[in-house]
C-alpha cells in the first residue's frame, strides 16, 4: 500500500495515499469540525466548517475532500480558521429557525454544539429567510425546512445509500431547498418511511411523527388495558439515550422502566419473533415441497416491504405472507391473551417500542387488523421512549433489572438476533434444519450469514438437501440483489432483506449518533454484539423450543400455518405507485 507522510499541527503523520486530510487528522486524534460530512455517505465540502490551511496554498481547503500529498503541511487551528468557521456558523444561523430550546434535537444538535464550541453569541447577518415548509402528513416522518442547513446528508442517504430518491435539492442560490419532487409531501412520494434521513440529519429538520401523547392518554384512561412490547434491537441501543456506551445491553432495565411507566403488561417482541420463525419456516418448507414461488423473501421489515411494493412489485408473490413480529404480537394479545384473561379485546391498547419509523406507517396499514381493531395502536421509537422515561423522572441507569411478563414475554436466543442483519435467516435455519433433518444441531451459530457486508450468500446443507440463501441490508443493497435475480445471474431459495443498513440495530428510530463519533465507531457492529451476546447466554436458542410458543399452538393456534394462524398472523401486500 502506498503511504504518504505529512505534518498536521506539527505532528508527523503517515497514512495511506487515498486518505483525506480529515481522515489523516482523525488518525492522530486531531478534531476538525464538520457538518455536511457523513462517513461513507456524504463527502462534498459544502458546509465549509472543515476548512484547513495548507502551506503554500492560495486558499483554505475543505479537509473532508482534500486528498493528502507527500510533504503536505497542514494547520487546523489558527485565528484565520476560527474566524472563518465562526462566520460560516453565523451565516447558517441567519437563515435558520433558532427556537433551540423547544427543538426536538436540543442538546443533540450538531449545529448547536458547534455554536457552543466556537462561542457564537450574536447574529450579525440576520435578515431575510427562505420560505419554509412543514410537512407532517406522513405517518412516520416530519420534515421542517425552517431548520434545514442544506448539508445534503439526508439527500445522499436517500438517493445513494437507500436508492429511494424521495427527496432532492431544488432551485439554486438563496432559494435552494431540500424537497420532494413537485413540492409533494413525503406521504405522496416514494418514501419508504425507513427514517435513515433522520439518522443522517445533524439538526432538527427531520424527525419522527410523535406518538408520545397518544400513549400517555392511553395510560391515563381507566377504561384501557395498555400492553407494551419492545423490539429486539431496542435493548441494544436505549442505554445510549442515558449516556451509556454504544451497544450496551439494557434488557432488564428496559423491562423495569416500562413497568414504572404504568403499562398493564410488559411483553417482549422476541416472543413473536420466535412465533414468526415457526410460521415463516413452515411456509418456506411448504413452498420447497410443493413447487411454490421461490425464492421466498422475509417480510419483517416494513420499510423493505414498501420498497418492494413501490419499486419491485413483480417480487410481491415472493414475500412471505407472515406479518412482522410486532404486528403478530398485537394480533395475539387481542385474541389469545384477551380470551385467556377474560378481557374485552376492544379495551386493549397495544403499544410497540420499535427501532424503526416505518413501523408507524405499518401499524396504519388497512391489512393489519381485524373486527374493527388495529393489531397495534401506537408505535414509539427508541428516542420517544427515552423522552417518556425522562419526563417520568425515572433514573434509568440506576434501575434494577426486571423481567417481561409471563405468557407472551418468554423468548429464545433466536428471537433476539432478529435485530441484526442476518439474524432472521440464522433463526430460521436453526429451526428449519432440525425440522428437515430430524437431527439436533451441534452448532447453532450460522457464521456464514453474519456480518455487515451489503449482500451475503451461503449454501446450507440440510442433510443432503441444499438450499441457497442470501441476506441484504439497506434497500440499496436489496436493489442489487433483486436485480441479479431478475437478470438470471443468481438463484436462491430463501432471502432475508432488512430495509435499514445493518438491520434494525441502526433503524430510523434508534438513538442518533453524531457524525464525529461515526468516524471511529460503527453502531451496526457494536449494537449487534449486544444481541449476539444475549443469544449466546439464553438457555433456549431455537425458536421451536420456546415453551410458551409451543403452548400457544397447543392451546389456541393448533399448528403453524393453520387456518387460525393464517387468520391472525398472515397478511397480503399490494403494488404502490411511486407518486400519489
Q: Active-site residue numbers?
A: 280, 283, 300, 320, 359, 362, 367, 504
Q: Is 102 helix (H, G, I), strand (E, B) or coil?
A: helix
Q: Is 283 helix (H, G, I), strand (E, B) or coil?
A: helix
Q: At CA 70, angle to CA 66 and CA 71, rounded to 5?
A: 100
Contact between residue 186 and residue 117 where contact means Cβ atoms under 8 Å apart: no
What is the residue-wise DSSP string for 339-358? HHTT--GGGEEEEEEES-SH
Q: Which helix (H) or strand (E) holds 170?
A: strand 168-170
Block residue for cell numbers 444441531? 441
HSE-CB for 183 with a 13 A CA cutoff: 8
Closest CA to 276 of 522, 531, 565, 514: 565
Closest CA to 38 of 158, 216, 189: 158
Name 496's bridge partners: 471
Q: Give Dmax (Cα) for the chain.
A: 80
Contact between residue 253 and residue 386 where contact means Cβ atoms under 8 Å apart: no
For the purposes of burial, counting CB atoms within 10 Å of the CB of 402, is it exposed (0-12), middle (13-18) or buried (19 or more)? middle
Residues 6+ apart with CB under 8 A from 172: none
How do strand 225-230 and strand 348-354 relate by DSSP bridges?
Answer: parallel
Contact between residue 5 and residue 11 where contact means Cβ atoms under 8 Å apart: no
HSE-CB for 288 with a 13 A CA cutoff: 18
Closest CA to 454 of 504, 502, 419, 515: 502
Give, in order, the Cα–Cα distances in Å from 531 to each of 145, 234, 249, 421, 422: 36, 10, 8, 11, 12
How many C-beta neighbours within 10 Å does residue 269 have? 31
How far apart CA 52 and CA 6 sit, in angstroms, is 14
Q: What is the chain's alpha carbon radius of gyration, rounded to the nearest angstrom?
A: 25
The conformation of residue 121, written as its DSSP 8-state character, comes to -
Amino acid at each position: 500500500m502506498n503511504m504518504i507522510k505529512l505534518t498536521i499541527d506539527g505532528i508527523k503523520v503517515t497514512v495511506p495515499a487515498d486518505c483525506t486530510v480529515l481522515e489523516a487528522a482523525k488518525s492522530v486524534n486531531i478534531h476538525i469540525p464538520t457538518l455536511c460530512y457523513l462517513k461513507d455517505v456524504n463527502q462534498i465540502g459544502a458546509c465549509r466548517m472543515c476548512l484547513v490551511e495548507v502551506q503554500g496554498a492560495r486558499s483554505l481547503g475543505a479537509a473532508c475532500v482534500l486528498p493528502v500529498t507527500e510533504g503536505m503541511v497542514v494547520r487546523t487551528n489558527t485565528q484565520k480558521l476560527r474566524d472563518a468557521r465562526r462566520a460560516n456558523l453565523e451565516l447558517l444561523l441567519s437563515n435558520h429557525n433558532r427556537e433551540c430550546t423547544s427543538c426536538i434535537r436540543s442538546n443533540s444538535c450538531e449545529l448547536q454544539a458547534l455554536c457552543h464550541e466556537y462561542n457564537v453569541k450574536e447574529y450579525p447577518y440576520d435578515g431575510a429567510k427562505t420560505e419554509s415548509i412543514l410537512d407532517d402528513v406522513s405517518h412516520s416522518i416530519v420534515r421542517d425546512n425552517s431548520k434545514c442547513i442544506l448539508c445534503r446528508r439526508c439527500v445522499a442517504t436517500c438517493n445513494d445509500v437507500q436508492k429511494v430518491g424521495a427527496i432532492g435539492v431544488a432551485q439554486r442560490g438563496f432559494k435552494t431547498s431540500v424537497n420532494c419532487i413537485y413540492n409533494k409531501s413525503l406521504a405522496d412520494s416514494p418514501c419508504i418511511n425507513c427514517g435513515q434521513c433522520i439518522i443522517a440529519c445533524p439538526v432538527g429538520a427531520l424527525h419522527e411523527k410523535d406518538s408520545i401523547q397518544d400513549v400517555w392518554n392511553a395510560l391515563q384512561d381507566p377504561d384501557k388495558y395498555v400492553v407494551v412490547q419492545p423490539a429486539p434491537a431496542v435493548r441494544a441501543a436505549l442505554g445510549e439515550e442515558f449516556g451509556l456506551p454504544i451497544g450496551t445491553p439494557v434488557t432488564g432495565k428496559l423491562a423495569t422502566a416500562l413497568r414504572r411507566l404504568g403499562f398493564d403488561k410488559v411483553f417482549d417482541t422476541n416472543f413473536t419473533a420466535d412465533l414468526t420463525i415457526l410460521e415463516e419456516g413452515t411456509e418456506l418448507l411448504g413452498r420447497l415441497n410443493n413447487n411454490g414461488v421461490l425464492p421466498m423473501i422475509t417480510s419483517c421489515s416494513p420499510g423493505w416491504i414498501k420498497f418492494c411494493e413501490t419499486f419491485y412489485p413483480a417480487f410481491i408473490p415472493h414475500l412471505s405472507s407472515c406479518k412482522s413480529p410486532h404486528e403478530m404480537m398485537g394480533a395475539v394479545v387481542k385474541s389469545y391473551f384477551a380470551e385467556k384473561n377474560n378481557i374485552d379485546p376492544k379495551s386493549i391498547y397495544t403499544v410497540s417500542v420499535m427501532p424503526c419509523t416505518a413501523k408507524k406507517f405499518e401499524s396504519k396499514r388497512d391489512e393489519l387488523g381485524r373486527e374493527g381493531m388495529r393489531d397495534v395502536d401506537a408505535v414509539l421509537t427508541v428516542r420517544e421512549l427515552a423522552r417518556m422515561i425522562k419526563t417520568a423522572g425515572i433514573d434509568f441507569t440506576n434501575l434494577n433489572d426486571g423481567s417481561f411478563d409471563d405468557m407472551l414475554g418468554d423468548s429464545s436466543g433466536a428471537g433476539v438476533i432478529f435485530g441484526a442483519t442476518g439474524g432472521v435467516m440464522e433463526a430460521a435455519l436453526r429451526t428449519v434444519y432440525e425440522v428437515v433433518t430430524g437431527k439436533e444441531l451441534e452448532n447453532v451459530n450460522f457464521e456464514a450469514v453474519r456480518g455487515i457486508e451489503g449482500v451475503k450468500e451461503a449454501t446450507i446443507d440440510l442433510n443432503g438437501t441444499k438450499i441457497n440463501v442470501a441476506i441484504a441490508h439497506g434497500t440499496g443493497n436489496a436493489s442489487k440483489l433483486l436485480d441479479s435475480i431478475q437478470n438470471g445471474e443468481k438463484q436462491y431459495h430463501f432471502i432475508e432483506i432488512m430495509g435499514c443498513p445493518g438491520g434494525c440495530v441502526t433503524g430510523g428510530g434508534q438513538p442518533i449518533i453524531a457524525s464525529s463519533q461515526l468516524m471511529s465507531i460503527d453502531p451496526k457492529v457494536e449494537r449487534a454484539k449486544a444481541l449476539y451476546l444475549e443469544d449466546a447466554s439464553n438457555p433456549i436458542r431455537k425458536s421451536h423450543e420456546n415453551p410458551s410458543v409451543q403452548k400457544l399452538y397447543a392451546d389456541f393456534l393448533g399448528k403453524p400455518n393453520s387456518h387460525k394462524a393464517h387468520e391472525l398472523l398472515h397478511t397480503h401486500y399490494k403494488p404502490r405507485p411511486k407518486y400519489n
